[in-house]
């Protein structure tokens, strides 16, 4: 039987909200922060998924509550913040992970309603969530936006999605300046990770092999890889880092 990983308690006494956190990268991040001592608030659109994820985390001894939240719904966003503050009194960490990719059309073939949805969920929702959360975030708090390697080099089948992820790189810089000095704002740009969100790529053997060959480490990323990087940036170990994007993509080309 695999030995359970032991982590330090960098988040003891801290409260963390993670959006879109009932599976995939979001769940792994919530799990890691919880294992390191955080009280975690998880959320996603479906109550069943929220309840199941809460039970999994509780079974690991993690202090957790779950709230249904579609990030483009203003009332549900406000409810997420209110429930967190009612229960825990503050918010130390916000991880904005929710994203949508409703289209594989080229940019100029994408319907306006789809462009609106991509902007609403992938960019605007992060801004509005932080607008609600900021008054409850104490000195030393931290925000992590989840971008993508596609923010640097938009993939043809996910081009507009990639552009919204590019916007998060700029948003990180702007919010870091705006929320300083009390709150640090950083960003993770994951490479390809085999989750439900990316299964149309990673389930195709030829495409998967091609992506693996495009990395220096000859493998796809794992949800744990993303959780480790997020936990570092959110923790006091990164207390002098803000406005930065950490690319976690196995050496895939991003920038100089």
194 by Cβ neighbours in 10 Å (0-12 / 13-18 / 19+) ranks as: middle
In a domain, 256, yes or no: no
Contact 141, 91 (CB under 8 A): yes
Q: Is the pLDDT of residue 1 over 60?
A: no
The count of structural domains within the chain is 1
In a domain, 24, yes or no: yes
Residue 227 belongs to what domain range? 15-247
Contact 36, 10 (CB under 8 A): yes
In the sheet that holds 141-146, the strands lie side by side as 64-68, 39-44, 15-18, 93-96, 141-146, 183-190, 245-248
Q: What does the buried/exposed string (b/e) look like for 25-43 if buried means 16 or more CB atoms within 10 Å of the residue's CB?
A: bbbbbbbbbbbbbbbbbbb
Quick one: CA dihedral 203, 247, 154, 93, positive or negative? positive
pLDDT band at 155 (very low <50, low <70, confident <90, very high): confident
Percent of all residues in the chain with a pLDDT value above 70, rounded to a whole number: 96
Distance, in Å, from the CA atom of 208 to the CA atom of 73, rounded to the nearest integer, reads 35
Per-residue pLDDT tens digits for 189-237: 999 998 776 676 667 888 889 889 999 999 999 999 999 999 999 999 9
Distance, in Å, from the CA atom of 231 to the CA atom of 32, rounded to the nearest integer, reads 7
Q: Is the pLDDT of residue 63 over 50?
A: yes
* Distance from chain centroid for Cα 62: 19
Q: CATH no. for residue 46?
A: 3.40.50.720
In a domain, 217, yes or no: yes
In a domain, 4, yes or no: no
Distance, in Å, from the CA atom of 32 to the CA atom of 22, rounded to the nearest integer, reads 13
Average pLDDT over residues 228-255: 96
pLDDT band at 157 (very low <50, low <70, confident <90, very high): confident
- pLDDT at position 256 is 64
Active site residue 240: no
In a domain, 8, yes or no: no
In a domain, 9, yes or no: no
Distance, in Å, from the CA atom of 19 to the CA atom of 41, rounded to the nearest integer, reads 8
In a domain, 136, yes or no: yes
Per-residue pLDDT tens digits for 91-104: 999 999 999 998 88
Give residue for tokens 């966003």. Answer: 77
Contact 172, 185 (CB under 8 A): yes
User: What is the pTM assigned to this prediction?
Assistant: 0.95
Distance, in Å, from the CA atom of 245 to the CA atom of 80, rounded to the nearest integer, reads 26
In a domain, 6, yes or no: no
Residue of 88, 152, 161, 240 marked active site? 161
Q: Indicate the DSSP class of residue 192.
A: -
Which residue, 64, 71, 56, 69, is CA-closest to 23? 56
What is the chain's Cα-based Rg? Answer: 17
């Amino acid at each position: 039987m695999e030995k359970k990983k032991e982590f330090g308690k960098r988040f003891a006494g801290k409260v963390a909200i993670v959006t879109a956190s009932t599976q995939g990268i979001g769940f792994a991040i919530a799990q890691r922060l919880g294992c390191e001592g955080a009280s975690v608030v998880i959320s996603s659109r479906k109550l069943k998924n929220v309840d199941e994820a809460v039970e999994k985390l509780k079974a690991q001894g993690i202090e957790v509550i779950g709230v249904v939240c579609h990030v483009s719904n203003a009332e549900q966003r406000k409810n997420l913040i209110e429930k967190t503050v009612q229960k825990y009194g503050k918010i130390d960490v916000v991880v904005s992970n929710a994203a949508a990719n409703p289209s594989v059309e080229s940019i100029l073939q994408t319907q306006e309603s789809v462009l609106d949805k991509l902007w609403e969920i992938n960019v605007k929702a992060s801004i509005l969530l932080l607008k609600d959360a900021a008054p409850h975030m104490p000195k030393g708090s931290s925000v992590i936006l989840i971008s993508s390697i596609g923010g640097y080099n938009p993939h043809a089948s996910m081009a507009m999605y990639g552009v919204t992820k590019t916007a998060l790189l700029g948003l990180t810089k702007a919010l870091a300046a705006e929320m300083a000095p009390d709150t640090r704002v950083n960003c993770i740009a994951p490479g390809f990770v085999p989750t439900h969100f990316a299964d149309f790529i990673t389930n195709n053997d030829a495409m998967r092999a091609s992506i693996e060959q495009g990395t220096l480490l000859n493998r796809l990323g794992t949800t744990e890889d993303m959780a480790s990087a997020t936990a570092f940036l959110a923790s006091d170990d990164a207390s002098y880092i803000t406005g930065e994007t950490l690319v976690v993509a196995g050496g895939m080309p991003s920038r100089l």
